Structure 1
Amino acid sequence: MQSFPALRAGTLALACVLAPATHAVATDLLTGIPRLACEATLCLSSGLRPNECSPSLDHYFDIKKYSKHGLDWSATADARRSFLSQCPASTDQGMPERIDAISRGAGKCDPDYLNRTYADTAYKWRKHEFGGDSGQTVYEVHPLPTVTLDQLPTYCVVYNDHSWTHELSVRYVGRPTMGGHWVKVEDYDAAQAKWDADHGGIWASGWNFSLTDPRHRADH
């Protein structure tokens, strides 16, 4: 992966760093939408987003398309792709693919979005039997907030793993049935160690874990 380009005099560095050096145009020589498009492409290629990124990112994320059912993600991605394509470097080798990956993934592949969108409930439970075979079964059940998606969607894999992307990766901590969730890759080791400590030992001993309430299964 390439390093995030250095900042210069309060502006983002050369627009030509966005692609192979076929453009000798600096972002500080661009104005209006082309400048915002170049800066947004650069900023959205990294998890490192300084204050200089704010105007272009505000413009990018303000682009939203709606249908009668609410936010239309497909149309929104198309509109955002169209905006990024107004950067002069957007037609250089590899850039159309990069812009497509950004438009599909930016804002939808960070831990906050993944944890919110795929939030669900898991269950920690065990059975108590009273009176032998003909007796009563009582379930002790504890709901657990969890995130059921533990593999990145394809569009996130493309966005995170692009050869020009820098420090965007996220990783899944834990298990879907036991309160798993997404974190930034730099936070993974500490988060996984904490999850292991919190979800092992006595906490897990003698318990079952599932994504369905065992009492519902028992009713059928």
Structure 2
Amino acid sequence: MKKTLLPFFIFGAISSVNALNLETLTGDTKLSCEALLCLASPIKPPECGPALARYFGIDARHWSDVITKRRNFLNLCPTDDQKDPELSKYKNEILVNLDGECSTDSLNKRIEKTILRTETICTSNGAGNGSTCKDVSYYGYRINPQLTNSCKLLASSKYTDYHLKYTCNSKFYEKKDWDNGYELKEISQEIYNALPVSQREQGEKLTPISYVEFVRLPANKRKQEGFRKYYRIDIGYYQKIVIKKDCWINEK
């Protein structure tokens, strides 16, 4: 691990080990000290990979045994935590109970899914044979706005640099919009023409009409969706509104 990547706020917490000469350590002792430093920040440089893999790779049949093994591993790093209750808490209570890594990258990968609405869709079985109906659920997606338990634990220590903030709204987006990475806002043709090409999109605009109006339209100007739902096909003008997905940041 490079010296310049070590979080400055934990330098003073290491006693018999000179934090600026961490390269002189070897094996699990070095990995233990690196884990203490890397877990203190939501920004994880690539050099943290081996230490974090070693730490979260500690396993046992029972969770209590995992905690014991983690505590033993972390205590390989010769920190002077007996004189510092906060450091002892960070090492022996907070870190050992993490159920996963906490980083802005991992938080921004936690996609939450919910049912936006449920519609009953009916289709005709033919003349005189009635119709068949079924309930169809439509889902919405967003980046989860809640911190994980690990992030809450880490943010509670004075030896960490966790000042996490959620910068997106709490809206759930339709699956199609979420997959596309943008939603469509209907606008006038005049505004549409003034937009950059990258922000424009044309598409079908379905206007509800009566059955009488429906049968009078040519086939390419009308559409039926579901049972007794009739529409006129118009041209819609839309602006692409990018869906922000890098919602979590760490405020300095």
TM-score where L is the length of structure 1? 0.53
TM-score where L is the length of structure 2? 0.47
Q: Pick the aligned partner of 1:96 from 79, 88, 106.
A: 88
1:1-40 to structure 2, matched below 5 A, reads 7-8=2-3, 17=11, 19=13, 22-23=15-16, 25-26=18-19, 27-40=22-35
1:57 aligns with 2:47: no
Residues 84 and 90 of structure 1 are in contact (CA less than 8 Å); yes or no, is this contact kept in structure 2?
Answer: no
Cross-structure match for 1:211? none
CA RMSD of aligned residues (A): 4.6
User: Offset at 1:157?
Assistant: 1.5
Cross-structure match for 2:158? 163
Residues 121 and 145 of structure 1 are in contact (CA less than 8 Å); yes or no, is this contact kept in structure 2?
Answer: yes
**Which deviations, in whole Å up to 9, do the C-alpha atoms of 1:95-137 show, x marking residues without a partner?**
2211232232362545647966x85542324689xxxxxxxxx
**Which deviations, in whole Å up to 9, do the C-alpha atoms of 1:3-39 show, x marking residues without a partner?**
xxx9438x858997161x6445342332222221111
1:108-127 to structure 2, matched below 5 A, reads 108-110=101-103, 112=106, 120-125=113-118
Residues 34 and 48 of structure 2 are in contact (CA less than 8 Å); yes or no, is this contact kept in structure 1?
Answer: yes
Instruction: Give, as a single letter, the amino acid of the residue that structure 2 aligns with 1:35.
Output: K
User: Offset at 1:42?
Assistant: 0.3
Residues 87 and 159 of structure 2 are in contact (CA less than 8 Å); yes or no, is this contact kept in structure 1?
Answer: no
Instruction: Give, as a single letter, the amino acid of the residue that structure 2 aligns with 1:98.
Output: Y
Instruction: Give, as a single letter, the amino acid of the residue that structure 2 aligns with 1:103.
Output: V
**Which deviations, in whole Å up to 9, do the C-alpha atoms of 1:71-102 show, x marking residues without a partner?**
x5454344223211211016251222112322
Q: Which has the higher helix share?
A: 1
User: Offset at 1:164?
Assistant: 2.1
Residues 126 and 141 of structure 1 are in contact (CA less than 8 Å); yes or no, is this contact kept in structure 2?
Answer: yes
User: Offset at 1:61?
Assistant: 2.0
Q: Which has the higher strand share?
A: 2
1:179-198 to structure 2, matched below 5 A, reads 198=183
1:144 aligns with 2:139: yes
Q: How many residues align?
A: 167
Q: Pick the aligned partner of 1:79 from 38, 62, 69.
A: 69
Q: Distance in 1 between matches of 2:37 and 2:99?
A: 12
Distance change (3 Å), C-alpha of 1:13 and 1:170: closer
Residues 98 and 149 of structure 2 are in contact (CA less than 8 Å); yes or no, is this contact kept in structure 1?
Answer: no
The structure number with the bigger radius of gyration is: 2
Identity fraction in percent? 24
* Secondary structure, aligned partner of 1:45: coil
